[in-house]
Amino acid sequence: MSGPWYEETGPTTEEVTHNMLEAFGIPIKKIGKFKKHQVADIIKVVNDVVSVEEKKYNGWGSYRGWATVSPDLIEKISVKLNQLTEARNKINKFIMNSDWVMDMLYRPPTETRPAGRMYKLAESSFYSISSANIPKQYPSEI
Say yes or no to pLDDT of 141 above 60.
no
pTM: 0.62
For 88-136, the pLDDT digits (tens) are 889 888 888 888 888 888 888 899 999 888 888 988 888 888 777 666 6
C-alpha torsion angle, residues 94, 96, 99, 101 (rounded to 10): 140
User: What is the distance between the alpha carbons of residues 48 and 43, in angstroms, rounded to a whole number?
Assistant: 9
Provide the pLDDT for residue 83: 92
Provide the pLDDT for residue 139: 65
For 46-97, the pLDDT digits (tens) are 999 999 988 888 888 888 887 787 888 889 998 998 999 899 889 888 888 8
